[in-house]
Chains A and B, each alone.
Chain A
């Protein structure tokens, strides 16, 4: 059974169709790439999956439980956690406190949260800045901190929205390494990114959206070579000979 699946999801903003008849499935332990040009509906889909938007129609299933329209808190309690494109750390408390707060919110005891926090800070190379207020961290460090907050109590499924955007290559590799290690332990991800080499590297399977619709899904390389995907990214005048 798929860990997460959607059936015929729809979301409209006025006359604009942000998500249109979207049906996808994520299998346990996989990293599913979610790609598409700007405005294609990726973030709207993540917003629906994480409970920040209610769909106009369609359904979302987490395992065999219908979770359509649940709040972000209800979904987080069921192990569906989300990282935002713009980092959402708690700026006026230290990096350690951010991670402890995230751990406590997931139901860990203080002692357990502290223990896991230490391990994660080391793994994410944030030990040196642990006592800095999160607002004073660099953009890349904030993203790494968000990884720590998300994984202090490993979720059933992690929704990562553009984690590599505007990040130094060294940090990007640190994040990719973190995702690979967690994937090796069986963690399931949906990864939204415009960084195609990373998508190819991390995601065996991908879904491409355009104008709210799923235009291709399957093996990542096959998706990237699909004429519909090439046209969505480069426009119809480029023709089928172009490659993404």
Chain B
């Protein structure tokens, strides 16, 4: 780390965050031009799914990157969000105007409850508990054939026939999520989350209500994942327990680690890069997870701040100051 860097006010949290936010807005501006160049429905569909993963990555990053809680349930909450909307339609014929907000609320409540359960857990214990929750949720949905139609899945009505319409809907939701996260991270809530991530005991001793802020992060993160899942369900018009597979969570983790944990731009970059690469790798057989797992190992070992960290000049190989 150079002396110039350490003396720079750019290292202040608000300045780092502002730079990060501007970069993410620029990225979204570029993405908004994509339909001008990407015209085939298939390619546009891939971009829409990339943005779906960007939403999940941002949601998971709020927990793991900003608050230090390594949950293994983001895909499960996407599945729960998708099923909330689908089940409301299937059983009650509730319109999407109710089904989508209901997905957000139900996932926020479930996330808040899960946050309460794992409150005193750290590291592998927290991860294993959330993994257990994710697997239980997936198996219960898969086996409740009377209620959910099990592995056959459920059909969901669509919001638009147009893929371009869906593309801009997903992009708009991504923008709104990004702006919301930026405002939160800029506020005292964001600062308290960072403090909890770095040292929960230290944060508590300063008067930060660790319990409240941890559960808030869980609820918000799960709400974002639930919203993403719900929208994805209306896009694909079919939801199934496969949405909650652990492999999906693995992809989300890979996206955030490769893009840059604890940043706003990193998860979006990671989601685009990983999903587009995974589509390209389909031609070479089922090797995506091998490639991404190897990439995660390499990034965790040699480039802990991810691609956004590298691009923003904050890459420090040894300094303890930038560990993810």
Contacts and interface: CB of A to CB of B under 8 A. Distances in A.
Interface stretch (A21-29, A129-137, A180-188, A214-222): A129-137
A94 to B, nearest CB: 5
A119 interface: no
B207 A73 contact: yes
Contacts of B116: none
Most buried by A among B11, B205, B319: B205
B11 A50 contact: no
B192 A101 contact: yes
Contacts of B1: 136
B9 A101 contact: no
Contacts of A84: 201-202, 205
B6 A93 contact: no
Given A94-B13, A131-B6, A73 B210 contact: yes
B266 to A, nearest CB: 14
Interface in B10-25: 10-13
Given A81-B206, A84-B205, A101-B206, A135 B188 contact: no
* Interface size class of chain A, counting residues whose CB lies under 8 Å from the partner chain: 35 or more
A76 B191 CA distance: 18
A123 B188 CA distance: 25
Interface of B is mostly: helix
B323 A135 contact: yes
A132 B207 contact: no
A52 B188 CA distance: 24
A195 B280 CA distance: 65
Contacts of B199: 88-91
B205 A88 contact: yes
B7 A131 contact: yes
B256 interface: no
A133 B7 CA distance: 10
Nearest to A128: B7
Contacts of A100: 191
A203 B13 CA distance: 39
Contacts of A93: 13, 191, 194-195, 198
Contacts of A135: 319-321, 323
A17 to B, nearest CB: 24
A100 B207 CA distance: 13
Contacts of A133: 11, 319-322
A41 B198 CA distance: 28
Interface residues of B, number: 33
Given A90-B195, A101-B191, A132-B321, A73 B204 contact: yes
Contact of A131 (B8, B188, B205, B262): B8
Contacts, number: 111
Given A101-B206, A136-B321, A94 B12 contact: yes
B291 interface: no
Nearest to B201: A88
Contacts of A73: 204, 207-210
Contact of B198 (A81, A92, A131): A92
B13 A97 contact: yes
Nearest to B11: A131
B197 interface: yes
A96 interface: yes
A100 B195 CA distance: 11
Contact of B207 (A77, A96, A110): A77
Interface string A85-109: 0001111111011001110111000
B194 A92 contact: yes
Nearest to B190: A101
Interface string B299-324: 00000000000000000000111110
Contacts of B201: 52, 84, 88
A17 B320 CA distance: 38
11 contacts: A52-B205, A82-B205, A92-B262, A93-B195, A101-B195, A106-B207, A129-B6, A132-B6, A132-B11, A133-B11, A149-B206
Interface of A: 50, 52, 71-73, 76-77, 81-82, 84, 88-94, 96-97, 100-102, 104-106, 110, 128-129, 131-136, 149
Interface of B: 1, 6-13, 188, 191-192, 194-195, 197-199, 201-210, 262, 319-323
A-B pairs, 4 with minimum CB distance: A133-B321, A88-B202, A76-B207, A90-B198
Given A73-B207, A94-B11, 13 more contacts: A71-B204, A72-B207, A88-B201, A90-B194, A90-B198, A90-B203, A92-B194, A93-B194, A93-B195, A104-B188, A105-B203, A131-B6, A135-B319
